[in-house]
Amino acid sequence: MTGQIAPPGETAEAHVSDTVLCGPIIVLTYEHSGVELLSDVLSASCTVACTDGTGLLPLCHLASGTWRSIENGGSAPSALAVKSIRSLVSTMAAVVQSRAGATRWCEIAYAGSAAAGTFRRIFPEATFICLHRSLRAVFADGMRAYPWGLGGSPFWGYAVGHPGNNVATIAEYWVAHTQELLVFEYRHPECSLRVRHEDLIDHPERTKNAIYDFLGLDPSTVSATPMLRSAPDKRVEEVEPAVQLAQLPSDLRAKIEDLHVGLGYPELL
């Protein structure tokens, strides 16, 4: 294994078996997921160069769509389209890796399952970490970040249908992004790992080792045991009174409860 991005224009079958553990690392998540803790774990390896929200996954998705339009349709990008898109992204990744002296590139991406799926088709050797966080923790973190209102926040686009109800707005945001992550996990189980923010806090060593093992990171490349940054109160989800979560509409609450159960979180109330 060389740790380099595989040459463009070749099929997934030709590379996934021998480069899956040295291709790009993509962290799929959303804002207020506590991704800083996971970034600490990944950045502890001197072989990994991390970038955050560069927009390269949406760029790949848009470029793929443009190529399909130019080539008059088709359900999958052609070999020429794949080669072109890979060349663009690989060049940018090479700059990032060169500056850091690293052999692998890691992107923290706030992109949906469609964009991630396109990136997977362009880079079949990529591995993905899907980072989740409980609704209570996201709610507490969001309310701390925007105490005077959600206008201009990542949550604002989900306020439709919930005028004046910040609890429901944040819940809609959490449901939408959690479902997107689960869709990707379901479609790509062979290359994705589910990580919960709470496990990075409660079981840091076990979770860190599972991540390194999944990514094929050599423990000898880790300069030191990462000191995980904790939130002011690591159990932030417990400080919010139940009465606030009681403001959730019944249909939204049902979706949340189903997702919480599936992710191994306790019931809201």
250, two tokens: 């019944």
Q: Over 90: is that where the pLDDT of 122 sits?
A: yes
CATH, residue 53: 3.40.50.300
* pLDDT score for 110: 95
What pLDDT does 72 receive? 77
CB atoms within 10 A of CB 154: 17
Please give the Cα distance from 27 to 37 (Å, whole number): 12
Give residue 231's pLDDT band: very low, low, confident or very high (50, 70, 90). very low
Which pLDDT tens digit goes with each residue over 11-36? 333 333 333 457 999 999 999 999 99
Residue 66 lies in a domain: yes
- Number of folded domains that form the chain: 1
Residue 238 has pLDDT above 60, yes or no: no
Domain-located, residue 70 = yes
pLDDT value for 9:
36
DSSP state at residue 216: T
Q: For residue 12, what pLDDT is reported? A: 32
For 212-218, the CB contacts below 8 A with 24+ separation are 212/45, 214/127, 214/129, 215/21, 215/25, 215/127, 215/129, 216/1, 216/20, 216/21, 216/22, 217/45, 217/47, 217/48, 218/45, 218/47
Whether 239 has a pLDDT exceeding 70, the answer reads no
* Structure-token pair, residue 119: 């990136």
Q: How confident is the model at residue 227 (pLDDT cuts 50, 70, 90)?
A: low
- Is 7 among the domain residues? no
Sign of CA dihedral 110, 51, 136, 130: positive
d(CA 149, CA 143): 8
Cα(249)–Cα(19) distance, integer angstroms: 47
In this predicted structure, what is the pLDDT of residue 220? 77
Q: Answer yes or no: is pLDDT of 73 > 80.
A: no
* 3 assigned to some structural domain: no
**Residue 212 included in any domain:** yes
152 assigned to some structural domain: yes
Is 6 domain-assigned? no
16 is a domain residue: yes
Asked if the model's pLDDT at residue 121 lies above 60, the reply is yes
| Residue 194, beta-bridge partner list | 130
Share of the chain residues as helix, strand and coil, in percent rounded to the nearest 5: 55, 10, 35
Domain that holds residue 120: 12-263
